[in-house]
Structure 1
């Protein structure tokens, strides 16, 4: 998840920590590489974070541009691309309002990055900006989680250990992650506090993270308001149909 409107949040100030916390994602990387191969041409990723998706796409030979609000994330992305000998144009900017002076054959918003935009108006602004940057026949492809109302109802503000998020820091050792979340049903925003701890350093980082939920009935309407329409939508990285119990919503869109 790259940053969008919250690029200076503490959660994104340590880009190395971010990469360790959100390591993996091979299926998602393979999906977006496949989409780039299908479309050909130039690729733009919004909220590109540290380049987890974009650097492999660029390594396949595609001309890539990454837009990211967080300077720390961009610096990490540049470093990683340099290590791999891959050329990417990195741009600091806000996905709600950007103008790159050119168009792209594929625009990607991966790893829930769209969910940093909490207001419907901001989401529509983002889609309109994408529309302006789509080449004829171009596509917007993005993924967001499929909200689970049972999970949202359990967001009661109690701090709990997330064992699946534990990781090893070469300097600190094993890092455990606790999360306390509440759900604002009016705003459709989950407001969380993430606590990072080791045995020797409890709570060495405490960071807020706020993420919007966008329900499947909403997205086509928001896309239409942004001048886009849905071509396909999937419920997982194998391109299975979107169902009520799917964990993901993956959209392929074109200019309306």
Structure 2
């Protein structure tokens, strides 16, 4: 489930700071649907806090207590009311329903087994109010990129960021791809000019290919009603980097 990678909430927020298009997409989805919102794998609340600030009753569920603590701190600082819940998206029971359930930022890809994904979709199905929707994003796997996961450590310049205490932080990643499991197994190295590898973290991410995705959703009692290919709402194509999926009860 990738827990060690999410043990430092501040590091996570600095690493993935440029998420405004995704925030805008989910915020607009909540406004169109109206009513209450549940986010699974809510992390530090980067998507859910703006949604809650638009007067949507909101619940955020996450397995990482560190991420939830930071989410609670940020929401309290902004005076935004969110119910933060420690739980596992594979199976949960919140004893209520929601008009919209979202799973953002590839969070579903921490569920490596098909049965875990189906379990998550079934739990979502039980928590959807009449007319409710599930909206989530996962990347569109590139066979070319998966083939390049050869275990060699490489610099990811696009992931560099500035840490208030350390200065410029560089990120290196070494990945291998397990084709049988459809899982990319990576090691992420964080360094500065004066402190090499001050943090080293594992991260394992599943791939969900476009043709299998509707089948997994269907086994969970949902149906894929629309799939978009970018944050502006463009159509999904073979070249799309992301699968933005809108699902309803079957």
TM-score (norm 1): 0.97
1:146-176: per-residue Cα shift (whole Å, max 9, x none)? 0000000000000000001000001001000
Deviation of residue 10 (structure 1)?
2.2
Residue in structure 1 matching 2:241, options 227, 235, 247: 247
Number of corresponding residues: 250
Q: What aligned pairs does 1:76-87 form with structure 2 within 5 A after superposition?
A: 76-87=70-81
2:89 corresponding residue in structure 1: 95
Q: What aligned pairs does 1:153-192 form with structure 2 within 5 A after superposition?
A: 153-192=147-186
1:212 corresponding residue in structure 2: 206
Q: Distance in 1 between matches of 2:74 and 2:65?
A: 14
1:53-108: per-residue Cα shift (whole Å, max 9, x none)? 00000011110000000000000000110111100000000000100000000000
Q: Distance in 2 between matches of 1:216 and 1:158?
A: 28
2:218 corresponding residue in structure 1: 224
1:171-200: per-residue Cα shift (whole Å, max 9, x none)? 001000000000000000000000000111
1:56 corresponding residue in structure 2: 50
Deviation of residue 238 (structure 1)?
1.2
Q: Distance in 2 between matches of 1:170 and 1:224?
A: 46
Deviation of residue 232 (structure 1)?
0.9
Deviation of residue 201 (structure 1)?
1.1
- What SS does the corresponding residue of 2:231 show, helix, strand or coil? coil
- What SS does the corresponding residue of 1:28 show, helix, strand or coil? helix
2:227 corresponding residue in structure 1: 233
Residue in structure 2 matching 1:141, options 132, 135, 145: 135
RMSD: 0.6
1:203-243: per-residue Cα shift (whole Å, max 9, x none)? 00000000000000011000100000011110001111110
2:14 corresponding residue in structure 1: 20
TM-score (norm 2): 0.99
- What SS does the corresponding residue of 1:79 show, helix, strand or coil? helix
1:34 corresponding residue in structure 2: 28
Q: Distance in 1 between matches of 2:19 and 2:199?
A: 24
Q: Distance in 2 between matches of 1:145 and 1:111?
A: 9
The question of 1:151 aligning with 2:160 is answered: no
